[in-house]
Amino acid sequence: MGRPAVITMSRGRVLDLSGPHYYQDMLTGIAQEILNELAEIEKVDLPSLPEEDFEQVVGVTQIRLLNELYYCLGQLRALGMELEVKPVIQDLRDIWNRYIDATNRPEALKFQEEPGQGQVQ
């Protein structure tokens, strides 16, 4: 089976994968969707939250990133496209962390690298 032109995220957003950089488009689309969700949460002023509440936001954000990634990978797999999960997670982490840096969000929102792993480009 060929690559799908689109896949749908768990909450209905459609990601266009018809371009030549479908992999990058998928990961960027996931990161952007979760950033949009984070922007809604930030309306309550994250720095003013008690530490444990802020940590909960960080945890939920990372869970959402991984859930969406696995949801999208599942659709690709059902269509016969299997990607190695570990490097895909690393690539998503790198994209996410660049977004966090570029938008001047708290460092704690970054996806932390697991010990002994280098960046994958």
Residue 117 within any structural domain of the chain: no
Q: Which residues of 2-35 are buried (b: 16+ CB within 10 A; e: fewer)?
A: eebeebebeeeeebebeeeebeeebbbbbbebbb
pLDDT tops 90 at residue 121: no
Q: Which residues of 75-101 are buried (b: 16+ CB within 10 A; e: fewer)?
A: bbeeeebeeeeeebbbbbbbbbbebbe
- The parent domain of residue 27 ranges over 6-106
Q: How confident is the model at residue 42 (pLDDT cuts 50, 70, 90)?
A: confident
Assigned domain for 44 exists: yes
Q: Does residue 49 form part of some domain? A: yes
Q: Which of 63, 72, 71 is nearest to 109 (CA)?
A: 63
Local structure of 1: helix, strand or coil: coil
In this predicted model, what pLDDT tens digit does every residue of 58-104 receive, in sequence order?
A: 999 999 999 999 999 999 999 889 899 999 999 999 999 999 999 99
Classify residue 120: in a domain, yes or no. Answer: no
What is the number of domains present in the chain?
1
Residue 13 lies in a domain: yes
In a domain, residue 65? The reply is yes
